[in-house]
Chains A and B, each alone.
Chain A
Amino acid sequence: MAVERTATLVAVTDHGADTRSLFLDLPGGLDFRPGQFVSCLLPVDGERLTRPYSIASSPEHADRLELLLNLVPDGAGSQHLFDLPIGGTIQLTGPWGTFALDRAPDAETVFLADGTGIAPIRPMLHRAAATASRPLHLVWATTNPFWADELRAIDGLSVTIIAPSALEATVRARWVDADDDRSRHFFVCGVGDIVPRLRDLLRGSGYARRAVQYERW
């Protein structure tokens, strides 16, 4: 059941013109798993929009949530959040979602992030690195790699940053065509059709269904 909470915007960081981190104080914190999202209830044009946003920060900092926001053209929800002043409040529920990682799988693990799909992947990477016994890889397909330094500093994680148009071919070359090892696990997040395309590519090449977890926004 959804319990509404009130969060207060305490800071923002802009990552270029149309991408922004919102930092929200939530008294009492939030008990969430890396990868989960909150559901924002936004008053827009006399209606109440329900808009999900992945939590881009880690559960270890539970009383200050970071949400990554992409300004969507004609997107009433994202415009409302972009216009929210410091000190403004948001009603939200959560955490929600089953795209989550509590500890690193006991297998080589590949994280695939398309654009702002990096948001839920980021806390997953920190958790995975803290618990991993097998290799960890990240491929982030983006033209705006604003978290590159932080991610490259994660122990035991290999980071590849590529153009969005190269994501599918990169995955095919490295983890489909390169060998017959199908023991790897994948976590895939992004916006739009690229996500089910990667899912189908990986499952179709022999990876187990449950070894390919994904979230499509």
Chain B
Amino acid sequence: MARVIVRFENGDPERVIDVDLSKAPFQHDGRPGSILDILLANGVPLEHACGGSCACTTCHVIVKQGSDRLSEAEESEEDMLDKAPGLTPTSRLGCQAVLTDDDAEIVVVVPRFTINQSSGSHGG
């Protein structure tokens, strides 16, 4: 099992999510086994305005630990990240960064502006 620890800039409580990567995709948006795929399937409403197709920056997350356990960023993702507000050296797009190792433990921070606060009242 891989483990994703999710921290929130907005102060929401930390989440610890254990996943069996062999069962990906866990839902229908983003790359199978991506951070977006895992978070959405576990009730973390990460914004993803383009549906997880690398056409916006709304699923931007900051990887604090385990970045070497994620797929490498391709040119399309790098081009998008260039335009992301609050870009950091370890920023990734949640829809593109795929966990590659079933023993991985990664820590990601969800920036304040990345959480979809509109989805809660409408059932996600």
Contact = CB atoms under 8 A, between A and B. Distances in A.
Nearest to B51: A50
Interface string A173-217: 000000000000000000000001001000000000100001111
Given A97-B55, A216-B76, A37 B50 contact: yes
Most buried by B among A51, A97, A217: A97
B48 A50 contact: yes
Contacts, number: 72
Given A1-B113, A196-B75, A217-B55, A52 B118 contact: no
A121 to B, nearest CB: 15
Contacts of B123: 48
B122 A48 contact: yes
B55 A50 contact: no
Contacts of B65: none
Nearest to B50: A52
Contact of A98 (B53, B57, B118): B57
Contact of B49 (A47, A52, A215): A52
A199 B75 contact: yes
Contact of B76 (A48, A196, A209): A196
A2 B118 contact: yes
Which 6 residue pairs spanning A and B have beta carbons closest together? A39-B49, A96-B49, A98-B83, A52-B50, A2-B118, A50-B51
Interface of A: 1-4, 37, 39, 41, 47-52, 91, 93-94, 96-99, 196, 199, 209, 214-217
Given A48-B122, A50-B50, A98-B57, 6 more contacts: A39-B49, A50-B48, A51-B51, A94-B49, A216-B53, A216-B76
